Amino acid sequence: MPELPEVETARHLIADLALGRRIVGVDDADTFVCRPHSPGELRDALTGRTLTAAHRRGKTMWCETSGLDDSAGPGPRGPDLGIHLGMSGRIVVIAPDGWVAEGGDPPGRDAQPRKAAWDRFTLEFADGGRMALFDKRRLGRIVLNPDLDALGPDAEEVTPAQFRALITKGTIAVKARLLDQSKIAGIGNLLADEILWQAKIAPATPVSRLQRKDADRLYRALRSVLAAATAQGGAHTDDVIAARRPGGSCPRCGAEMVHGTVGGRSTWWCSREQAAWP
Protein backbone atom coordinates (compact mmCIF):
# COMPACT_ATOMS: atom_id res chain seq x y z
CA MET A 1 0.00 0.00 0.00
CA PRO A 2 1.40 3.13 -1.27
CA GLU A 3 3.68 5.59 0.45
CA LEU A 4 5.96 8.07 -1.28
CA PRO A 5 8.20 5.52 -3.06
CA GLU A 6 5.27 3.54 -4.46
CA VAL A 7 3.54 6.71 -5.58
CA GLU A 8 6.71 7.78 -7.36
CA THR A 9 6.71 4.43 -9.16
CA ALA A 10 3.12 5.07 -10.24
CA ARG A 11 3.94 8.62 -11.36
CA HIS A 12 6.85 7.34 -13.40
CA LEU A 13 4.58 4.76 -15.02
CA ILE A 14 2.15 7.47 -16.10
CA ALA A 15 4.96 9.70 -17.35
CA ASP A 16 6.44 6.84 -19.38
CA LEU A 17 3.32 5.26 -20.80
CA ALA A 18 0.24 7.45 -20.61
CA LEU A 19 1.27 10.89 -21.86
CA GLY A 20 0.26 12.14 -25.30
CA ARG A 21 -2.56 9.63 -25.81
CA ARG A 22 -5.89 11.25 -26.71
CA ILE A 23 -8.68 10.63 -24.23
CA VAL A 24 -11.88 9.46 -25.93
CA GLY A 25 -13.77 8.09 -22.93
CA VAL A 26 -13.83 8.47 -19.15
CA ASP A 27 -15.46 6.19 -16.56
CA ASP A 28 -16.08 8.46 -13.58
CA ALA A 29 -19.16 6.67 -12.25
CA ASP A 30 -17.68 5.97 -8.80
CA THR A 31 -18.97 8.98 -6.92
CA PHE A 32 -17.02 8.17 -3.76
CA VAL A 33 -13.62 7.99 -5.45
CA CYS A 34 -14.45 10.98 -7.67
CA ARG A 35 -16.10 13.11 -4.96
CA PRO A 36 -17.02 15.94 -4.95
CA HIS A 37 -17.48 15.66 -8.70
CA SER A 38 -20.74 14.37 -10.07
CA PRO A 39 -20.84 11.58 -12.67
CA GLY A 40 -19.92 12.92 -16.09
CA GLU A 41 -18.13 15.98 -14.78
CA LEU A 42 -14.67 14.43 -15.15
CA ARG A 43 -15.66 12.93 -18.49
CA ASP A 44 -16.77 16.31 -19.81
CA ALA A 45 -13.61 18.00 -18.49
CA LEU A 46 -11.15 15.45 -19.93
CA THR A 47 -12.58 14.00 -23.13
CA GLY A 48 -10.64 15.17 -26.17
CA ARG A 49 -7.53 16.12 -24.19
CA THR A 50 -4.22 14.37 -23.58
CA LEU A 51 -2.15 14.08 -20.43
CA THR A 52 0.95 16.19 -20.97
CA ALA A 53 2.96 15.79 -17.75
CA ALA A 54 2.84 13.77 -14.51
CA HIS A 55 3.87 15.37 -11.21
CA ARG A 56 3.96 14.32 -7.55
CA ARG A 57 4.19 15.97 -4.17
CA GLY A 58 4.17 13.55 -1.28
CA LYS A 59 1.47 10.99 -2.02
CA THR A 60 -0.52 13.27 -4.32
CA MET A 61 -0.05 13.05 -8.08
CA TRP A 62 -1.43 15.34 -10.73
CA CYS A 63 -1.34 15.33 -14.50
CA GLU A 64 -1.39 18.41 -16.67
CA THR A 65 -3.75 18.20 -19.64
CA SER A 66 -3.70 19.66 -23.11
CA GLY A 67 -6.11 22.05 -24.76
CA LEU A 68 -8.97 20.55 -26.74
CA ASP A 69 -7.60 21.54 -30.14
CA ASP A 70 -3.88 22.09 -30.37
CA SER A 71 -3.71 21.69 -34.14
CA ALA A 72 -2.88 25.39 -34.54
CA GLY A 73 -0.38 25.43 -31.68
CA PRO A 74 -1.04 24.94 -27.98
CA GLY A 75 -4.46 26.25 -26.98
CA PRO A 76 -5.71 26.99 -23.49
CA ARG A 77 -4.70 24.17 -21.20
CA GLY A 78 -7.15 21.81 -19.56
CA PRO A 79 -7.58 21.20 -15.85
CA ASP A 80 -5.06 19.24 -13.79
CA LEU A 81 -6.11 15.67 -13.05
CA GLY A 82 -5.37 14.89 -9.40
CA ILE A 83 -4.77 11.25 -8.43
CA HIS A 84 -4.34 9.83 -4.92
CA LEU A 85 -3.82 6.10 -4.43
CA GLY A 86 -5.22 5.99 -0.88
CA MET A 87 -4.49 2.76 0.99
CA SER A 88 -4.91 0.22 -1.75
CA GLY A 89 -4.72 2.06 -5.06
CA ARG A 90 -2.63 1.12 -8.06
CA ILE A 91 -2.18 2.71 -11.46
CA VAL A 92 -2.70 0.41 -14.42
CA VAL A 93 -1.73 1.47 -17.92
CA ILE A 94 -2.78 -0.70 -20.83
CA ALA A 95 -1.00 -0.35 -24.16
CA PRO A 96 -2.86 -0.48 -27.50
CA ASP A 97 -1.78 -4.11 -27.90
CA GLY A 98 -3.16 -5.04 -24.48
CA TRP A 99 0.15 -5.11 -22.59
CA VAL A 100 -0.47 -4.22 -18.94
CA ALA A 101 1.87 -2.17 -16.74
CA GLU A 102 1.13 -1.52 -13.05
CA GLY A 103 2.52 0.70 -10.33
CA GLY A 104 1.58 1.72 -6.81
CA ASP A 105 0.12 -0.87 -4.50
CA PRO A 106 2.46 -3.87 -4.97
CA PRO A 107 0.40 -6.44 -6.90
CA GLY A 108 2.20 -9.42 -5.38
CA ARG A 109 0.70 -9.06 -1.95
CA ASP A 110 -2.91 -9.88 -2.65
CA ALA A 111 -2.00 -12.16 -5.53
CA GLN A 112 -5.51 -11.87 -6.88
CA PRO A 113 -6.31 -11.28 -10.51
CA ARG A 114 -7.37 -7.71 -11.15
CA LYS A 115 -11.11 -7.55 -10.89
CA ALA A 116 -12.65 -5.10 -13.32
CA ALA A 117 -15.05 -4.05 -10.57
CA TRP A 118 -12.08 -2.61 -8.67
CA ASP A 119 -11.17 -0.26 -11.50
CA ARG A 120 -12.59 2.88 -9.89
CA PHE A 121 -11.70 5.39 -12.61
CA THR A 122 -10.69 4.80 -16.21
CA LEU A 123 -9.42 6.87 -19.10
CA GLU A 124 -9.93 5.29 -22.52
CA PHE A 125 -7.46 6.37 -25.18
CA ALA A 126 -8.04 6.75 -28.91
CA ASP A 127 -5.37 4.10 -29.54
CA GLY A 128 -7.50 1.45 -27.86
CA GLY A 129 -5.52 1.35 -24.60
CA ARG A 130 -6.55 2.57 -21.14
CA MET A 131 -5.30 3.95 -17.88
CA ALA A 132 -7.12 3.03 -14.67
CA LEU A 133 -7.05 3.64 -10.94
CA PHE A 134 -7.41 0.12 -9.52
CA ASP A 135 -8.43 0.27 -5.88
CA LYS A 136 -10.04 -2.42 -3.75
CA ARG A 137 -10.95 -0.24 -0.80
CA ARG A 138 -12.01 2.86 -2.73
CA LEU A 139 -10.00 5.16 -0.49
CA GLY A 140 -8.14 6.47 -3.51
CA ARG A 141 -9.30 9.70 -4.99
CA ILE A 142 -9.62 11.47 -8.33
CA VAL A 143 -10.15 15.21 -8.30
CA LEU A 144 -9.73 18.08 -10.73
CA ASN A 145 -7.19 20.75 -9.79
CA PRO A 146 -6.13 19.29 -6.41
CA ASP A 147 -5.28 21.73 -3.62
CA LEU A 148 -1.51 21.42 -3.38
CA ASP A 149 -1.34 24.24 -0.85
CA ALA A 150 -2.71 21.79 1.71
CA LEU A 151 0.57 19.85 1.49
CA GLY A 152 3.92 20.63 3.03
CA PRO A 153 7.15 20.25 1.08
CA ASP A 154 7.85 16.81 -0.38
CA ALA A 155 9.75 14.56 2.03
CA GLU A 156 12.49 14.03 -0.54
CA GLU A 157 13.01 17.77 -1.05
CA VAL A 158 12.64 19.25 2.42
CA THR A 159 15.83 20.94 3.66
CA PRO A 160 17.32 20.33 7.14
CA ALA A 161 16.34 23.84 8.26
CA GLN A 162 12.78 23.47 6.95
CA PHE A 163 12.54 20.06 8.58
CA ARG A 164 13.64 21.35 11.99
CA ALA A 165 11.14 24.19 11.86
CA LEU A 166 8.23 22.04 10.68
CA ILE A 167 8.88 19.09 12.96
CA THR A 168 9.49 20.73 16.32
CA LYS A 169 6.65 23.26 16.63
CA GLY A 170 3.95 22.32 19.15
CA THR A 171 3.67 19.36 21.48
CA ILE A 172 2.25 16.52 19.38
CA ALA A 173 3.85 13.06 19.35
CA VAL A 174 6.71 13.00 16.87
CA LYS A 175 5.23 10.11 14.92
CA ALA A 176 1.93 11.97 14.47
CA ARG A 177 3.88 14.97 13.20
CA LEU A 178 5.81 12.85 10.69
CA LEU A 179 2.46 11.64 9.36
CA ASP A 180 1.02 15.17 9.03
CA GLN A 181 0.98 15.73 5.27
CA SER A 182 0.42 19.46 5.71
CA LYS A 183 3.83 19.72 7.38
CA ILE A 184 5.88 17.24 5.32
CA ALA A 185 4.29 15.37 2.45
CA GLY A 186 4.92 11.70 1.68
CA ILE A 187 5.60 9.86 4.94
CA GLY A 188 3.16 7.05 5.72
CA ASN A 189 2.74 4.75 8.69
CA LEU A 190 5.42 2.23 7.72
CA LEU A 191 8.03 4.81 6.74
CA ALA A 192 7.38 6.71 9.97
CA ASP A 193 8.09 3.60 12.06
CA GLU A 194 11.23 2.88 10.04
CA ILE A 195 12.52 6.47 10.34
CA LEU A 196 11.93 6.61 14.11
CA TRP A 197 13.57 3.21 14.55
CA GLN A 198 16.65 4.26 12.57
CA ALA A 199 16.91 7.48 14.59
CA LYS A 200 16.29 5.57 17.87
CA ILE A 201 13.53 7.95 18.93
CA ALA A 202 10.40 6.81 20.79
CA PRO A 203 7.33 7.39 18.58
CA ALA A 204 5.30 9.05 21.36
CA THR A 205 7.96 11.65 22.18
CA PRO A 206 6.36 15.12 22.23
CA VAL A 207 8.08 17.17 19.52
CA SER A 208 8.78 19.87 22.11
CA ARG A 209 11.25 17.44 23.71
CA LEU A 210 13.39 17.10 20.59
CA GLN A 211 16.74 18.85 20.79
CA ARG A 212 18.41 20.10 17.66
CA LYS A 213 20.63 17.00 17.56
CA ASP A 214 17.54 14.79 17.75
CA ALA A 215 15.83 16.65 14.91
CA ASP A 216 18.98 16.40 12.80
CA ARG A 217 19.29 12.67 13.52
CA LEU A 218 15.65 12.28 12.51
CA TYR A 219 16.32 14.19 9.30
CA ARG A 220 19.27 11.95 8.41
CA ALA A 221 17.12 8.88 9.09
CA LEU A 222 14.39 10.31 6.85
CA ARG A 223 16.86 10.76 4.01
CA SER A 224 18.40 7.33 4.36
CA VAL A 225 15.08 5.50 4.71
CA LEU A 226 13.62 7.28 1.69
CA ALA A 227 16.72 6.57 -0.38
CA ALA A 228 16.60 2.88 0.49
CA ALA A 229 12.86 2.59 -0.07
CA THR A 230 13.01 4.42 -3.39
CA ALA A 231 15.89 2.25 -4.59
CA GLN A 232 13.84 -0.84 -3.81
CA GLY A 233 10.61 0.59 -5.16
CA GLY A 234 8.68 0.56 -1.92
CA ALA A 235 8.53 0.84 1.85
CA HIS A 236 7.66 -2.80 2.43
CA THR A 237 11.27 -3.96 2.21
CA ASP A 238 12.64 -1.81 5.03
CA ASP A 239 14.46 -3.40 7.98
CA VAL A 240 11.99 -2.87 10.74
CA ILE A 241 8.95 -3.82 8.67
CA ALA A 242 9.68 -7.52 8.99
CA ALA A 243 9.84 -7.09 12.76
CA ARG A 244 6.39 -5.53 12.77
CA ARG A 245 4.62 -8.63 14.05
CA PRO A 246 3.83 -10.27 17.38
CA GLY A 247 7.05 -11.70 18.81
CA GLY A 248 9.21 -9.70 16.41
CA SER A 249 12.64 -8.61 17.59
CA CYS A 250 14.70 -5.53 16.83
CA PRO A 251 16.95 -6.25 13.80
CA ARG A 252 19.68 -4.17 15.42
CA CYS A 253 19.78 -5.16 19.09
CA GLY A 254 17.50 -8.18 19.27
CA ALA A 255 15.23 -6.76 21.96
CA GLU A 256 11.52 -7.33 21.72
CA MET A 257 9.47 -5.05 19.48
CA VAL A 258 6.49 -3.43 21.16
CA HIS A 259 3.16 -2.62 19.58
CA GLY A 260 0.87 0.26 20.44
CA THR A 261 -1.15 3.13 19.05
CA VAL A 262 0.46 6.52 18.46
CA GLY A 263 -1.36 9.34 16.73
CA GLY A 264 -4.22 6.93 16.13
CA ARG A 265 -2.07 4.60 14.05
CA SER A 266 -0.68 1.12 14.63
CA THR A 267 2.93 1.54 15.75
CA TRP A 268 5.90 -0.76 16.43
CA TRP A 269 9.08 0.22 18.22
CA CYS A 270 12.11 -1.34 19.90
CA SER A 271 11.56 -1.88 23.63
CA ARG A 272 15.20 -1.11 24.39
CA GLU A 273 16.43 1.53 21.95
CA GLN A 274 13.21 3.50 21.67
CA ALA A 275 12.03 3.12 25.24
CA ALA A 276 12.65 6.59 26.67
CA TRP A 277 12.10 10.13 25.46
CA PRO A 278 15.24 12.11 24.70
Partner DNA sequence: ACTCGTGTTAGCTG
Partner DNA sequence: TCAGCTAACACGAG
Which stretches of the chain bind DNA, using CB under 7 A?
Answer: 1-3, 6, 32, 58-60, 84, 86-87, 109-110, 112, 136-139, 141, 150, 169-173, 176-177, 179, 181, 188-190, 207, 235-236, 263-266
HSE (CB half, 13 Å, CA atoms) of 235?
A: 26
Provide the Cα torsion 128, 28, 147, 91; round to 10°.
Answer: -50
Beta carbon nearer to DNA, 70 or 180: 180
For residue 230, how many other CB atoms are within 10 A of its CB? 16
For the CB of residue 96, give the shortest distance to DNA in the complex, in Å.
30
Give me the least distance between CB of 36 and DNA, in Å please. 9
User: Shortest Cβ distance from residue 127 to DNA (Å)?
Assistant: 30
Complex with DNA: residue 181 or 224, whichever CB lies closer: 181
Residue 154's alpha-carbon distances to 75, 180, 238, in angstroms, are 31, 12, 20
Please count the other Cβ atoms lying within 10 Å of the Cβ belonging to residue 181: 17
C-beta closer to DNA: residue 11 or 136: 136
Closest CB to DNA among residues 164, 177 = 177
**Least distance to DNA from the beta carbon of 277, Å?**
14
Q: How far is the CB of 182 from DNA (least distance, A)?
A: 8
Print burial letters for 47-75: b (CB count within 10 Å at least 16), e (below 16).
ebbbbbebebbbbbbbbbbbbeeeeeeee
Give how far the C-alpha of residue 61 lies from the chain's centroid of Cα atoms, to the nearest Å: 8
Of residues 98 and 246, the one with the C-beta less far from DNA: 246
CA distance linking residue 142 with residue 134, whole number of Å: 12
Q: Please, are residues 89 and 82 in contact by the beta-carbon 8 Å criterion?
A: no
